[in-house]
Chain A
Amino acid sequence: MFHWLEKNPFFFAVGVFVVIAFAGLIEILPNFAEASRPVAGLKPYTVLELTGKNIYKKDHCIACHSQLIRPFKAETDRYGQYSLSGEYAYDRPFLWGSKRTGPDLHRVGNYRTTEWHENHMWDPKSVVPQSIMPAYKHYFTNIADIETAYAEAVTVKNVFKTPYGDEFQPTKEAWEAHKPIVLAEAKAIADDMKNKDVKEAVANGQIPEIVALIAYLNRLK
């Protein structure tokens, strides 16, 4: 049979494809529906949190930070309750990471504050003297792209039925109507911060990246 296949490239290719394809079917499909189900009470990300999540993605925080607490005592002692599948139901993509050069962040919102994050992102060594993490000072001046996050929220609402409210509509007007809500959320965070430029920007209706990122990190609980 193999000799025959080696002379018949078409059937050879079909054979290879079948052999490699079915592992995926068996391992991924059976649990697909169940793994998509959220835990009770899980809320979708607000637009500001989603903006922060996109900054987390943009700068590849997953290169050094995981968001997956494994069911070991050493991990639950350090980071809190081990992670559950349903907690990730609105994570597109998942952000578990594969390397912990820095600590896990899945429940960082439980034990770090806005103030801590502000100091840490400005200068990590100011709060963790031996830290090897770079400072992200540009987050304090770069203005976050909240419109794209809104576009994402609308997309997942319409396509995947993520439970966003009826006011999330794919129109400019709906977005303009939603903007003040995002700004109000940003202002609540900026109020807890000390950086004057950040406060001023938010007062002027602009949201620096740091505010969105902190909103996201505070949400991780």
Chain B
Amino acid sequence: MQSHAALEYDYSVAKLFTYTTILFGFVGMLIGTFIAAQLAFPELNYWMGEYGTFSRLRPLHTNVVIYGFTVSGVFATFYYSAQRVLKVSMAESNFLMFVGKLQFVLYVILAAGMVVSLLMGYSSSKEYAEMEWPLDILTVAVWVLWGIVMFGLIGLRREKTLYISLWYFIATFLGVAMLYLFNNMALPTYFFSGGLGNIMHSVSMYSGTNDALVQWWWGHNAVAFVFTVPIIAMIYYFLPKESGQAIYSYKLSLLSFWGLMFVYLWAGSHHLLWSTVPDWMQSMGSIFSVVLILPSWGSAINMLLTMKGEWNQLTENPLIKFMVLASTFYMLSTLEGPIQAIKSVNAIAHFTDWIPGHVHDGVLGWVAFMIMASLFHMAPRMYKREIYSKKLMDAQFWLQITAVVLYFTSMWIAGITQGMMWRAVDEYGNLMYSFIDTVAVLNPYYTIRALAGVLYLTGFLMFAYNMYKTMTASRKIEAEPQFRSPMA
């Protein structure tokens, strides 16, 4: 039965995930800034005994920003936008509402378990897949519940054609499910040894080179399916909604989507160049990484051209500024990645700070910007209030841009400096520098990077404050704004 009245969408689950996005964003970036400072000022390693060392906190930082902040943001924007593009409200199905809320509850338990267990040192030591097996099982549960809501809503939909954002959300769901399951295959040793030892401990099903391949097939594609695919889902929904512009090209969307799906997975082995992985696999990873520029830039250009003839919005609406900048950083990052995947460049770049530099121009400039912009756009519609402060948003923008630029420029210099020093030889062909020389030289860059962290974190606090005030104290609005978000 189709009703003619406008649908009232239900944002209760979207709101819950909005809160965790803000919370984990703050916690994750705080830890990140702290460990950045530890590299510049090593005395900071001793503030809480064995739990406060760089090595213990680094996986906590990555896990909280990836699975806390980003994934919360993905869920929040999904629960907001999926209803709207499918023209069906969560409130129409008690079952889906229940599953959505259950997903949130399990997710919070999972996140708490993750933080505590990583601090305690329970870890598989596989990057971005550190959680031990009981938490892996819980992760699968959270993910399956999300899938139930996704396909449940799709089943109830009134709009027959799936909008582009949903393509990307579906791909996120499937991609992460496949990769996560295979990469985390491990045997809990307690059950295979007649009950000996710690019940949390597990051993990987793969060894050595195979484990490396599976791990970076995951590691690289966690970047694909958490930092890229769902963020593209966001920009395809929120940029047209905020600007009032239709997507520039449907064909370009098609090409970029299927191209990205096809090419991305191959590129994982570029993390293993010059390793013991067979040469043809390395070359494959290298070549497909370069090909990956096409679908990545396809999406980004599609976004920029969507703003064609409306560039004045860039000066009038800081939210458009956030989104356009995000797609620009997406372009930068997806050009930089393939450059680093060229074997000769990789020989210098690998193992250096250029790699975290690359990651962070992507995550700070693209992922976090897009998530914050999306939440800003959602706030007036979810809370029926205008955004608290445009000025604050503008200030946040410039502060965080400065931070990102400081971050990646310092890490570019640090990485290339160190990479070159490692291989420098004197006139007799002897190594010129001892390893510690190449560490000592990095101190100024580590200091700049820590400062960049402080600036970005400050910007994030401004975002959190702005959101909080929008939720609680801002001027109420009567009708839902059609495009541009109202702000004071």
Contact = CB atoms under 8 A, between A and B. Distances in A.
Contacts of A171: 194
Contacts of A215: none
Contacts of A88: 207-209, 211-212, 276
B192 A170 contact: yes
Contacts of B217: 24, 27-28
B208 A85 contact: yes
Given A58-B123, A134-B46, A156 B196 contact: no
A7 B269 contact: no
Contacts of A3: 161
B334 interface: no
Given A62-B125, A156-B203, A94 B436 contact: no
A19 B258 contact: yes
B425 interface: yes
Interface string B271-287: 10011111001001100
Give the interface residue-count category, chain B. 35 or more
Interface in A62-94: 62-64, 66, 68, 70-72, 74-75, 77-78, 83-94
A87 B59 CA distance: 26
Interface stretch (B24-32, B93-101, B348-356): B348-356
Contacts of B422: 74-75, 78
Nearest to B120: A58
Interface stretch (B137-145, B170-178, B364-372, B449-457): B170-178
Contacts of A9: 151, 154, 162, 170
B276 A130 contact: no
Interface string B170-205: 110011001000100001011011101110010111
Interface string A111-142: 00000000000000000101111111010001
Contact of A132 (B42, B125, B261, B347): B42
User: Which of B171, B207, B430: most chain A Cβ within 10 A?
Assistant: B207
B249 interface: no
Interface residues of A, number: 87
Given A93-B126, A130-B436, A83 B423 contact: no
A145 B174 contact: no
Interface in B244-265: 254, 258, 261-262, 264-265
A94 B127 contact: no
A142 to B, nearest CB: 8
B53 interface: yes
Nearest to B168: A16
Contacts of B276: 35, 68, 83-85, 88
B19 interface: no
Contacts of B474: none
A59 interface: yes
Contacts of A83: 275-276
B425 to A, nearest CB: 7
Contacts of A98: 127, 271, 350-351, 355
Nearest to A88: B208
A2 B284 CA distance: 28
Contacts of A96: 212, 275
Given A63-B54, A68-B275, A91-B207, A27 B258 contact: no
Interface string B24-68: 000000000000001100100110011001111011000000000
User: Which of B56, B196, B198: most chain A Cβ within 10 A?
Assistant: B196
A95 interface: yes
Contacts of A154: 189, 192-194, 196
Contact of B197 (A90, A130, A151): A151
Contacts of B125: 56-58, 60, 62, 93, 95
B interface secondary structure, majority? helix
Contacts of A7: 160-162
Interface string B344-382: 000100111101100000000000000000000000000
Nearest to B59: A60
Contacts of B198: 145, 147-148, 151
Contacts of A27: 213, 217, 266, 268-269, 281, 284-285
B192 A20 contact: no
A40 interface: no
A112 to B, nearest CB: 13
A134 B45 contact: yes
A97 B351 CA distance: 8
A60 B35 CA distance: 14
Contact of B58 (A19, A60, A85): A60
A92 B207 contact: yes
B431 to A, nearest CB: 5
Interface string A1-34: 0110011010011001101110110011001100
B440 interface: yes
A194 interface: no
Interface of B: 38-39, 42, 45-46, 49-50, 53-56, 58-59, 121-127, 130, 151, 154, 160-162, 167, 170-171, 174-175, 178, 182, 187, 189-190, 192-194, 196-198, 201, 203-215, 217, 254, 258, 261-262, 264-266, 268-269, 271, 274-278, 281, 284-285, 347, 350-353, 355-356, 422-425, 430-431, 435-436, 439-440
Given A83-B276, A145-B197, 4 more contacts: A20-B174, A59-B121, A97-B351, A171-B194
12 contacts: A20-B174, A35-B213, A58-B122, A58-B123, A59-B53, A92-B205, A92-B206, A98-B271, A134-B38, A147-B197, A148-B201, A154-B193
Interface of A: 2-3, 6-7, 9, 12-13, 16-17, 19-21, 23-24, 27-28, 31-32, 35-36, 54, 56-64, 66, 68, 70-72, 74-75, 77-78, 83-103, 128, 130-136, 138, 142, 145, 147-152, 154-156, 158-160, 170-172, 175
